[in-house]
Amino acid sequence: MEALLLGAGLLLAAYVLVYYNLVKAPRCGGIASLRGRTAVVTGANSGIGKMTALELARRGARVVLACRSRERGEAAAFDLRQESGNNEIIFMALDLASLASVRAFATTFLSSEPRLDILIHNAGISSCGRTREPFNLLLRVNHIGPFLLTHLLLPRLKTCAPSRVVVVSSAAHRRGRLDFTCLDRPVVGWRQELRAYADSKLANVLFARELSTQLEGTGVTCYAAHPGPVNSELFLRHVPKWLRPLLCPLAWLVLRAPRGGAQTPLYCALQEGIEPLSGRYFANCRVEEVLPAARDDRVAHRLWEASIKLAGLGPEEDVEPKEDLLPEDPGTPSSLSSTHSKKPTVFESHANLPKLPDLSKVTHRIPVKTEPEPQTS
């Protein structure tokens, strides 16, 4: 009997350690009111994306749910309007696997929405499922699609600066190794899928890093965010049905709820004073050092150039804002900080800086500070 009690006590103690170190997520604070601001959240019909959109809506933002399924996207918009009390939540169709869909979304958004203050790339896949495409579907959905969408929406982000871009990545990026000789090769088999997923998450981290370099001085900042181990559809989507009854209770015990997983992306989108950390990787609502492969500026720039080609962006691509698409309201606040803030934020110091030229024509690098080597114990 004593042995059983001792064993139960040890298990409980172990779970408490796991819970407070892995499962329990710190709460995001940041800007209290987002009235007058507009946010786009991709993949916001469920999981982390839906909880992220809910919190933005509760703070008064106009939120665009960019989702592939119209039925699920409109249902999510209805649910979020009911739960948040904010009617400024709308659905727009976006399929990141289709570059044509990405362009169509950007055209629709730019022609109907005068502002864009926060862009959160949450949508992603962990497996190709039964789909067989002539390209790397994991890289397309997790990186190339978001890359193209960011590129097309940059004029609006710059016009509304200070603004932010958040790319939801993963700790799986540590296993990624980009091979530029076969970057877009189709993925076949679960081993290749695991590798391709890690590669796409590494691409997310490098993309945020290079984007911050390209946008230095524009008032647009960007961050890579790791939501932590989350019990979401992404986790169970490709698990065999017979295995789900066994995994679901375990997932409930050791994985975060989607609301907890949304905290770090929200922190990157809302926390004041982190502008100098643009381009960095965040986990558990704090900046975290990454391995050398994830902070290699040369590889990040090479990925940028390869992504331009894979996204179909030619040197003639027009990304400058059209005057007739920018009906700016002079009465709308342009800072992500609260209108009641007593101190000016770092955002406000960039408000009058010149616009960035067409990123597809950039042929030089802007030097950036590199963070020190991570300390090992």
Cα separation, 57 vs 226, in Å, equals 22
Confidence of residue 257 (pLDDT cuts 50, 70, 90): confident
Does the active-site annotation cover 19? no
pLDDT surpasses 60 at 111: yes
- Does the N-terminal peptide bond of residue 162 adopt cis geometry, omega within 30 degrees of 0? yes
Structure tokens at 258: 């989607």
Cα separation, 196 vs 202, in Å, equals 10
Q: For residue 164, what are the β-bridge partners?
A: 118, 221
In a domain, residue 288? The reply is yes
- The mean per-residue pLDDT over the stretch 212-237 comes to 84
110-124, 172-186, 348-362: lowest mean pLDDT where?
348-362
Q: What is the pLDDT of residue 355?
A: 43
Residue 89 near residue 77 (C-beta atoms within 8 A): yes
Residue 109 near residue 64 (C-beta atoms within 8 A): yes
Cα separation, 61 vs 56, in Å, equals 6
Structure tokens at 180: 């530029």
In a domain, residue 38? The reply is yes
Q: What is the pLDDT of residue 241?
A: 66
Cα separation, 284 vs 277, in Å, equals 15
For 46-75, write each residue's pLDDT tens digit.
999 999 999 999 999 999 999 999 999 999
Residue 84 near residue 53 (C-beta atoms within 8 A): no
- The mean per-residue pLDDT over the stretch 359-373 comes to 43
In a domain, residue 327? The reply is no
- The mean per-residue pLDDT over the stretch 120-127 comes to 92
Its sign, for the CA torsion 149, 155, 159, 164, is positive
pLDDT surpasses 80 at 94: yes
In a domain, residue 50? The reply is yes
87-91, 212-216, 231-235, 270-274: lowest mean pLDDT where?
231-235
Residue 160 near residue 334 (C-beta atoms within 8 A): yes
Catalytic residue among 197, 223, 267, 281: 197
Q: What is the pLDDT of residue 228?
A: 86
For 130-150, write each residue's pLDDT tens digit.
777 899 999 999 999 999 999
Q: Report pTM.
A: 0.77
Residue 150 near residue 120 (C-beta atoms within 8 A): no
What average pLDDT does the chain have? Answer: 81
11-20, 117-126, 168-177, 254-263: lowest mean pLDDT where?
11-20
* Count helices and strands in the chain by DSSP H and E runs: 12, 8
Please count the residues of the chain: 377
Query: Which of 283, 280, 154, 282 shows the shortest CA–CA distance to 219?
Result: 154
Residue 44 near residue 52 (C-beta atoms within 8 A): yes
Q: Is 28 left (phi over 0), alpha (psi -120 to 50) or beta?
A: beta
- Coil, strand or helix at 108: helix
| Secondary element (H or E) of residue 171 | none
Largest CA distance in the chain: 78
Per the structure, the complete domain to which residue 281 belongs is given by 34-311
Q: What is the pLDDT of residue 246?
A: 67
Q: Residue written as tokens 């749910």?
A: 65
For 293-326, write each residue's pLDDT tens digit.
999 999 999 999 999 999 999 765 544 433 333 3
Q: Report the CATH number at residue 65.
A: 3.40.50.720
Query: Which of 261, 171, 168, 295 shows the shortest CA–CA distance to 223?
Result: 168
Find the distance separating the first CA and the last CA of the chain, reported in whole Å: 40
Structural domains counted in the chain: 1
- The mean per-residue pLDDT over the stretch 177-201 comes to 93
Of the two residues 132 and 191, the one the predictor is more confident about is 191
Residue 351 near residue 162 (C-beta atoms within 8 A): yes
For 334-365, write each residue's pLDDT tens digit.
445 443 333 333 333 333 334 444 444 444 44
Structure tokens at 96: 């990141």
Q: Residue written as tokens 């699609």?
A: 145
